[in-house]
Structure 1
Amino acid sequence: MKLSTFGFLIGRGLRNLGTHWAMTLACVGSMAVCMTLNTAAQLAEVNVDSMVNYLGSQNETVVYLDPECDDATAAQAGEKISALNGVSNVIYVSKEDVLDTYRDYMEEYASLWDEFENDNPFKANYRVTVSDLTQLSQLSKQMERIPGVVKVTAPMDLTNTFVEIQQTVTKVGAGFVIVLMVVSVITVGSTIRLSVFARRREVEIMKYVGATNALVTLPFVVEGLAIGFIAGGISAGASIGGYAALVNAAGGLGGIWQMLVGSSLVPLKSVWPTILSSSLVSGALVGGLGSMFSIRKHLNV
């Protein structure tokens, strides 16, 4: 295909956008809405993952050591805990540190805590942070089998709740994305089908005189790509603007909501390049697929 012919066909495809401008606007609008909802579902999934990871990092697993174990056994236990795959942080807390912590909490009973100086009832322990909450149960069992460990206290109920929320959002988000992609393809296909129907005689004549399938298809594919690209740009702008407003609003929250939302939302600078590129690429891809599916049956003349 000559370069001039290629340029002519691309121009023809772009001019087709104005042939049925009302349908084109409706298609761009519906696609932009679908893609914006799609992006919102993906952002929700990313932020729920971030929130679960953040909350997981705030909930430590406490590994209590046998009061009778010596310093060497306690040190070896700490090394084995740190070596476990999935453990991100380990902090040793001696019996004296625990006693000092409780003394600070209850200063009015300072004389009572002084009596424990020579007979400390507390156990030395390791405060363990797990990077992946789904591994917490398995890691707790592994830590219980380490020599010198007598008990492991882990926030299992809270962790299971976080993990269930994370898995549910992931599944719902994936289904949402698939449904909206199908709707977008059908929407573009309907617009291109209308354009093809209006020019069906022209397509038939081109085929009769020997035009190749590529020559006939290219203008319609360009039209679909343009629709998808425009819709993707609108969707990206709406998504980035909406997410920026959400991040700013989260900064004004107070109390537990600040801890849960404000401290764990993924920063805008980390997601906007992905939102922009994925919206433009997915929009063009959906538009191109919708065009090819619509024109295919009209090529058999």
Structure 2
Amino acid sequence: MMKPSTFGFLVVRGVRNLGKHWAMTIACIASLSVCMTLNTFATLAEVNVDSMVNYLGQQNEMVVYVDPEADDATIQSVGERITATPGVSRVQYMSKEDVLNQYRGYMADYAVLLDEFENDNPFKANYRVSLANLSQMQAMSQNFQSIPGVYSVTAPIEMTQTFVEVQQAVTKVGQIVILVLMAVSIITVGSTIRLSVFARRREIEIMKYVGATNHLVTLPFFVEGLTMGLISGAITSVAGIFGYAYIVQASSTLGGLWQLLMGTAMVPVDAVWPTILTYSLAGGALVGALGSMFSIRKHLNV
């Protein structure tokens, strides 16, 4: 079993090795930080697209119209069936009078024209339904249509299918980008460790001749890769948090189509910075450790 003093010595040695090849170390940390930062923003893009789709889903409600001949008990039964359906996130009942008043609000300058409908209201009572998962809208529409007392169901099915397809495409592209950049990061760390191994091959041979174990030889290289990963993770977290904060702030000044699509859907910085910090440090440590381990196993005959 390795003594604590020996372990501490090897750890310190691994950290000091960063300075012996400082140019390569800086290049490795820089390239690794760039890869991880791109990874972070790819993930943030995926998260915000998911948030956008959910936001647009809330804006694009299904409208379940109740049969005009239905009594109060039937109307209540329809509402209970809709509310009890799994996947329904919000249900709002609109009586015939509520719908009429809503149109009065839309046509405030011409509201007097709707007064003739006061005693002969042509509108239908309905339930405004929001779903937790937009991909279920078509199935939900058919399900609600079969409820006794339902007159008809209107739903923006084609629009929601477009949103879902965009969400799925961004998710797939984001996953591919993350995997590619992760592989590049591991190769980058491994290349730096390989150069360090090559530069000290004579020293390693001498250590083996005097009885050094594999752990004694490989631990400094492992610490070296781990340290580079942690430093890159710290840089990535700072770049990711402040870069995303700038994007969120700048997006608030945009109008038109951006506000129509995103509205308040963009994930705030307060909700993501702890995750960015945690995953950047953990991801950097993991990539650094894996890169050094693969490099040592492949290129060190110890």
TM-score range for the pair, normalised by the shorter chain length: over 0.9
Counterparts of 2:49 and 2:175, CA distance in 1: 14
- SS of aligned partner of 1:152: strand
Is 2:181 aligned against 1:180?
yes
Taking the TM superposition and a 5 Å limit, the aligned residue runs for 1:45-124 are 45-106=46-107, 112-124=113-125
Is 2:129 aligned against 1:144?
no
Residue 158 of structure 2 corresponds to 157
- After TM superposition, give the deviation of residue 140 of structure 1 in Å: 1.1
Residue 129 of structure 2 corresponds to 128
Residue 209 of structure 2 corresponds to 208
- After TM superposition, give the deviation of residue 109 of structure 1 in Å: 5.6
Once the two structures are overlaid, the 10-residue window that deviates more, 249-258 or 283-292, is 249-258
Unmatched tracts of structure 1, length 5 or more: none
For residue 187 of structure 1, what is the amino acid of its counterpart?
Answer: T
For residue 119 of structure 2, what is the amino acid of its counterpart?
Answer: N
CA distance 1:147–1:188, change in 2 (3 Å): same
Residues 23-65 of structure 1: per-residue CA shift (max 9 Å, x gap): 1111000000000000000000111111111111111110011
Counterparts of 2:179 and 2:155, CA distance in 1: 37
- After TM superposition, give the deviation of residue 297 of structure 1 in Å: 3.3
CA distance 1:117–1:20, change in 2 (3 Å): same
Once the two structures are overlaid, the 10-residue window that deviates more, 122-131 or 253-262, is 253-262
- After TM superposition, give the deviation of residue 207 of structure 1 in Å: 1.9
CA distance 1:5–1:141, change in 2 (3 Å): same
Once the two structures are overlaid, the 10-residue window that deviates more, 24-33 or 258-267, is 258-267
Residue 229 of structure 2 corresponds to 228
Output the aligned Cα RMSD.
1.6
Counterparts of 2:209 and 2:111, CA distance in 1: 100
The answer as to whether partners of 2:65 and 2:124 remain within 8 angstroms in 1 is: yes
Residue 293 of structure 2 corresponds to 292
- SS of aligned partner of 2:124: coil
Taking the TM superposition and a 5 Å limit, the aligned residue runs for 1:233-252 are 233-252=234-253
Counterparts of 1:16 and 1:111, CA distance in 2: 83
Counterparts of 2:294 and 2:185, CA distance in 1: 13
- After TM superposition, give the deviation of residue 256 of structure 1 in Å: 3.8
- After TM superposition, give the deviation of residue 71 of structure 1 in Å: 1.0
Counterparts of 1:299 and 1:209, CA distance in 2: 17
Once the two structures are overlaid, the 10-residue window that deviates more, 114-123 or 289-298, is 114-123
Counterparts of 2:162 and 2:271, CA distance in 1: 27
Taking the TM superposition and a 5 Å limit, the aligned residue runs for 1:255-294 are 255-294=256-295
TM normalised by structure 1 equals 0.95
Counterparts of 1:230 and 1:31, CA distance in 2: 10
CA distance 1:110–1:277, change in 2 (3 Å): closer
For residue 177 of structure 1, what is the amino acid of its counterpart?
Answer: I
Is 2:45 aligned against 1:34?
no
Residue 189 of structure 1 corresponds to 190
CA distance 1:111–1:223, change in 2 (3 Å): closer
- SS of aligned partner of 2:162: helix
The percent identity for this pair of structures is: 68
CA distance 1:8–1:93, change in 2 (3 Å): same
For residue 16 of structure 2, what is the amino acid of its counterpart?
Answer: R
- SS of aligned partner of 1:126: strand
CA distance 1:191–1:69, change in 2 (3 Å): same
CA distance 1:191–1:76, change in 2 (3 Å): same
- SS of aligned partner of 2:40: helix
CA distance 1:104–1:241, change in 2 (3 Å): closer
- SS of aligned partner of 1:102: helix
Counterparts of 1:31 and 1:121, CA distance in 2: 65
Counterparts of 1:122 and 1:242, CA distance in 2: 50
Residue 16 of structure 1 corresponds to 17
CA distance 1:260–1:7, change in 2 (3 Å): same
- After TM superposition, give the deviation of residue 139 of structure 1 in Å: 1.2
Total equivalences in the alignment: 301
CA distance 1:94–1:211, change in 2 (3 Å): same
For residue 45 of structure 2, what is the amino acid of its counterpart?
Answer: A
Residues 103-157 of structure 1: per-residue CA shift (max 9 Å, x gap): 4434566565333333322211111111211111111111111100021101111
- After TM superposition, give the deviation of residue 295 of structure 1 in Å: 1.0
- SS of aligned partner of 1:115: helix
For residue 79 of structure 1, what is the amino acid of its counterpart?
Answer: E
